[in-house]
Every structure is written in C-alpha cells, then in structure tokens.
C-alpha cells in the first residue's frame, strides 16, 4: 500500500471538541461551585471506540475506577459526564456509589447503557459529593453540536485554570477529511504520568480501540507526560479519546499507509493541550520549554528535559529573569542520565552560556531582555548520542504559593 495523502495536519478554526462529525457537548452550573459552571457532558451520536490513560498515583479516585471498569466491559464509550469542584477522591465506598450514580443518571438521560458512560471529576480531595444537585443537573444537560456547547463544556471542567484549553486539527486519510479535537483542564498539581489534569479528545476517524490505545500511549509519552508545573501527581487524572468512525475512512492500523499521519495529527492536538496546561500553571507568568539533544536515547533526553523544567530553582530563576545557568546544569547532573560533564553545551534562548561544560562570556543585559519574554527556551546538548526530547513547564511565582495556601478557603 502507498500513502494516500501528503497533507500535514492543519489546525482548524473553532478549536472545539464537537468539530468532528457526530459529537455534542454542554456544561452548566449545578451547585457544586458557588457560581461557575461545574457539570459537563460530552456525547457521541453512536458508540465510539475508546482509549484512555490514567494517573500513576497508587491512590485513584472513584471516577477513574468506574471509567476503567466501563471500558473493560464493552471497549466502547458514547458519553462522558464530568464535574469540577469536587474530586470524589479518598471517599471510600460512598465515592464509588456516587460515581456510579453519575454514570447511571447520564445513561438514563441519554437512553444508553451505563457501560457506555465514562465519569471524571476534579477538585478538592477528601470531600463527599453533594449528589442531589449533581443528579438534578445531569437531567438538565442538553448537549449541542454548536460551538456554544463546546465552550460550556470546556468551562465546566475547570478548577484553578485561568483559561479554557481547546484545539482541533484536520487531515485527509483515504480521501476522507478527519478531525481530531480536544479540550483539557489543568493548572496545579501537574507532574504527569499523569497529573491533576483531565483531557478529552474526539475524532471521527475509523480506528479500533486496540490501535487507538497504542496511538494514545505513544503520543501521551511525548506530550502530556512531558509537562510539569509543581512536581505533584494527582489522584484523578485521565485522558480519554473517543473515535466514532463517522468520517468513513478505512480502519486505521499500524499497517495503514496513513498511520503516521494519524499519529502526527493526534500528537499535534495533544501537544497543544499539554503546552496550554503548562503555560496556565497556577500563578505562572512564563512558559518554559527545555529541549535536550545528544543524549544516549530519546527516553534519557526526555528525562533530562523534564528534570530541568521541573527544578524549583530553575523555575524561580526564570521567574526572576536570572540567567543562573548553574541551576540548569545541576539539574542535568542529578537527572540520572548518562553524560560527560566536559561535553555539555547550554543555551538560554539564542545565547550560549555553557560550552564544553565551562562558562562562556555573554551579555547579561541582552539575556535579561530575552528572559522577560512570556516564553523561554533552554537547549541542552550532551554530545553523547542521537537522543532527543522536549518538556514544558512554567515559572514558580509568589501567586502559586498564594493560590495553593488558600485553595480550600
């Protein structure tokens, strides 16, 4: 077989979760939060193949348990009901009962099997759910294929986020236009494998769940698992993607000539969302990107990149516009990766600050101008091999402390 198209993924206007054929969404305020939207519903016109990745925290919230159970039973999903303001985590058997009640109520609302409904929650850990307003709210949800429904959905899943996070890309496979779209939330307690983030993606591509799972796992390692805000891994994190096949392309498998194009499109959506989460870190003023080259493997390169971008001292230096490259090279050193200290090269933006493991004279004034920009890039070259990796994070500010010191008050 030959590749049927050479078209690269194209970001589409609207950037909303209902852009693919056959999806609807909405969100409302039901009463978990004081004023803001706090209950959301995403629906596929027909049962969709599904894939998911979940937090690696040993303590997992009730909604994750219920969602994974549903996925195992039928391998498909038609709807996802989400609440914000309460994580339904560390809530014991009652938490499971409440998550299943959300699932069942949504299923009854839509006239589908409860095994086709996923459940997600985000918010405060350790508080029991107030189920009366949630049940009443689910019964009021009226999902729409219009842009407004997508906006309401993306608003209702937020906690400390300052902005909604949406993106969508299109490409052509087997002569059929396919779209992959996504929305996410995440601002604090971010250090995936996974973090306090929820990500939902939709596509009208035709792909079986087993191959969709493989694609999502591959892309997640390069995107969602390459971000960090504060080094904390949450109890509720998940990324789900539903593929309803309504675009009408031939079923995608690794043997399909356009498999890599599908992966490229999925990665574009996931990377957009991951970077939006990093940029919107609690109290953040800057997005930090760390690129590592010359490592002995891609895995080691990603480990170094994430170690550097996750270093509190590096993050604070970037916040203070301080070209303190010593903090960067120290983080490289304790990353656990194979390296030669006498071969390391470091650049902050366009400026070389370390060459062959030694300091290089540079203009502090010029670098200060660069460090005041809203996005800062650090490049580390180890000269040990061909491994490459990228990670994203944000600066650590006074506001981060303030937000998290008063989160429950």
Q: Any idea what the Cα angle at residue 19 is, between residues 17 and 23, rounded to 5°? A: 70
Q: Which two tokens stand for residue 377?
A: 């890039």
- DSSP assignment of 255-310 equals TSTTHHHHHHHHHHHHHHHHHHHHHT-TT---EEEEEEEEESSHHHHHHHHHHHHH
- C-alpha 280/C-alpha 296 separation (Å) is 32
The closest of 8, 1, 4, 2 to 263, measured between CA atoms, is 8
Q: Which parts of 75-194 fold into alpha helices (H)?
A: 92-110, 131-140, 147-156
Say how many residues make up the chain.
409
Task: Please say whether the beta carbons of 46 and 164 come within 8 A.
Answer: no
* DSSP for residue 226: G
- C-alpha 329/C-alpha 327 separation (Å) is 6
Beta strands at 238-243 and 198-203: parallel, antiparallel or unpaired: parallel
The structure tokens 């990228």 sit at 390
CA distances from 124 to 164, 186, 369 (A): 19, 13, 39
Sequence-separated (6 or more) residues with CB below 8 Å from residue 24: 18, 42, 43, 45, 143, 144, 145, 149
The residues that bridge with 42 in the sheet, in sequence order, are 25, 80
Give the other-Cβ count within 10 Å of 402's Cβ.
Answer: 12
105, 111, 112, 118 alpha-carbon torsion, rounded to 10°: -30
Task: Please say whether the beta carbons of 290 and 309 come within 8 A.
Answer: yes
Catalytic machinery residues: 196
């Amino acid at each position: 077989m030959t590749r049927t198209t050479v078209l690269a993924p194209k970001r589409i206007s609207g950037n909303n979760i209902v852009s693919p054929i056959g999806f609807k969404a909405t969100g409302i305020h039901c009463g978990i939060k004081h004023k803001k939207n706090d209950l959301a519903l995403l629906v596929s016109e027909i049962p969709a193949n599904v894939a998911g990745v979940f937090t690696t925290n040993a303590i997992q919230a009730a909604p994750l348990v219920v969602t994974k159970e549903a996925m195992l039973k039928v391998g498909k999903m038609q709807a996802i009901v989400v609440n914000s303001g309460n994580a339904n985590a560390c809530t014991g058997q009652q938490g499971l009962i409440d998550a299943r009640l959300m699932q069942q109520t949504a299923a009854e609302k839509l006239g589908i099997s409860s095994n086709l409904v996923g459940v997600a929650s985000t918010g405060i850990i350790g508080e029991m759910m107030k189920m009366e307003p949630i049940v009443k709210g689910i019964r009021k949800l009226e999902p729409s294929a219009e842009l407004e429904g997508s906006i309401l959905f993306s608003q209702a899943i937020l906690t400390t986020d300052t902005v909604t996070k949406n993106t969508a890309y299109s490409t052509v496979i087997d002569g059929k236009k396919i779209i992959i779209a996504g929305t996410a939330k995440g601002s604090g307690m971010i250090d995936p494998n996974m973090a306090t983030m929820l990500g939902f993606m939709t596509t009208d591509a035709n792909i079986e769940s087993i191959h969709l799972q493989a694609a999502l796992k591959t892309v997640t390692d390069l995107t969602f698992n390459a971000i960090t805000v504060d080094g904390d891994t949450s109890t509720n994190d998940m990324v789900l993607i539903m593929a309803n096949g309504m675009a009408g392309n031939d079923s995608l498998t690794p043997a399909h000539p356009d498999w890599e194009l599908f992966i490229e499109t999925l990665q574009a959506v996931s990377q957009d969302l991951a970077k939006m989460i990093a940029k919107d870190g609690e109290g953040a003023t800057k997005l930090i990107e760390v690129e590592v080259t010359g490592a002995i493997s891609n895995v080691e390169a990603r480990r170094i990149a994430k170690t550097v971008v996750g270093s509190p001292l590096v993050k604070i230096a970037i916040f203070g516009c301080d070209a303190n490259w010593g903090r960067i090279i120290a983080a490289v050193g304790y990353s656990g990766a194979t390296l030669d200290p006498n071969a390391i090269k470091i650049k902050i933006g366009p400026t070389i600050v370390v060459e062959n493991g030694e300091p290089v004279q540079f203009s502090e004034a010029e670098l200060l101008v660069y460090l005041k920009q809203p996005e800062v890039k650090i490049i580390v070259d180890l000269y040990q091999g061909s491994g490459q990796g990228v990670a994203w994070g944000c600066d650590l500010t006074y506001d981060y402390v303030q937000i998290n010191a008063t989160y429950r008050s």
